[in-house]
Structure 1
Amino acid sequence: MSEQQPSRAPEPVGAYPYTRRVGNLLFLSGVGPRQRGEPNVPGVEVDEDGNILKYDFERQCHAVFQNVRYILEEAGAEWDDLVDVTVFLTNMQDDFPVYNRLYAEYFATAQPCRTTLEINCLPTPIAIELKCIAALKDKQ
């Protein structure tokens, strides 16, 4: 087993690695849209108490996909190595159609299994988080 901390992905919000390899499987911890070194979440506007005033969900989706790609590349994997994606949304009714459309674009060739769940909230003011598993090729 091995662990790596990607340098282009956002800093974790807790004490955990972004990846953990077991055999030829690469497990990714939950990945959100935050960007490394940036205090604000892309597309999110909050008030002085931290309450979300508005958010650009499409912008968050693009940022999440980019972060997953960064993490995979840092671990020696590729986008097409993804075999399972669990999606956590905080507003299924409004955001799922947008997510589904973008997911179809990003995963036009790669076809991992997918589960989508609505949850009450995430640990930072984000509307989406992905939990992924990749199967690494023999070159690893």
Structure 2
Amino acid sequence: MSGAIHAGNAPKAVGHYPHARRVGGLLFLSGIGPRDPATNAIPGNEYFADGRVQRYDIAAQARAVFANVRAVLEASGARWEDLVDVTVFLTDMERDFAGYNAIWAEFFPDPANAPCRTTLGITALPTPIAIELKCVAVAKE
């Protein structure tokens, strides 16, 4: 299958898949989290001595995940404004939805120009992150 995109300035995929794939006029991004591309650290996480997450900052993670999505879009020849659909996965919907929603409003201040969005509460993600985004954008030919 052609059209696979690997973004050098985005965090490495946690599995064996590309950051994105171009199919026709659309660009499909794999699930993208907030890990730092250079260090693999998770912004806003604080850990117990045994490595378990003690607390996290959903605002820091939301800003980082948006930066990572932007990096994949740019590596694909697309722009932030090309996003058309975003699925948001939160590991604690009750605790984090309002904070995430506030960050979303900073990045998409005009709801009429924001992408469609679905937000799901899930029990876990493959790394100790609190948020992941799955995005679809218009692909530039």
Q: TM-score, normalised by structure 2?
A: 0.93
Moved more, 127-136 or 108-117: 108-117
Please give the per-residue CA displacement for 1:73-113, whole angstroms capped at 9, x wherever unaligned.
Answer: 00000011100000000111111001111111111243111
**What SS class does the counterpart of residue 96 from structure 2 fall into?**
helix
Amino acid corresponding to residue 137 of structure 2 in structure 1: A
Is the 8 Å Cα contact of residues 10 and 72 (structure 2) preserved in structure 1? yes
**What SS class does the counterpart of residue 30 from structure 1 fall into?**
coil
How many aligned residue pairs are there? 138
Question: How many angstroms apart in 2 are the aligned matches of 1:35 and 1:120?
Answer: 22
Tell me which residue corresponds to 2:3: 2
Q: TM-score, normalised by structure 1?
A: 0.93
Calculate percent identity across the aligned residue pairs.
55
Tell me which residue corresponds to 1:85: 86
**What SS class does the counterpart of residue 134 from structure 2 fall into?**
strand
**Large movers: runs of 4+ above 4 Å:** none
Question: How many angstroms apart in 2 are the aligned matches of 1:29 and 1:114?
Answer: 16
* Unpaired stretches in structure 1, ≥5 consecutive residues: none
* Unpaired stretches in structure 2, ≥5 consecutive residues: none
**118, 131, 136: which one aligns with 1:128:** 131
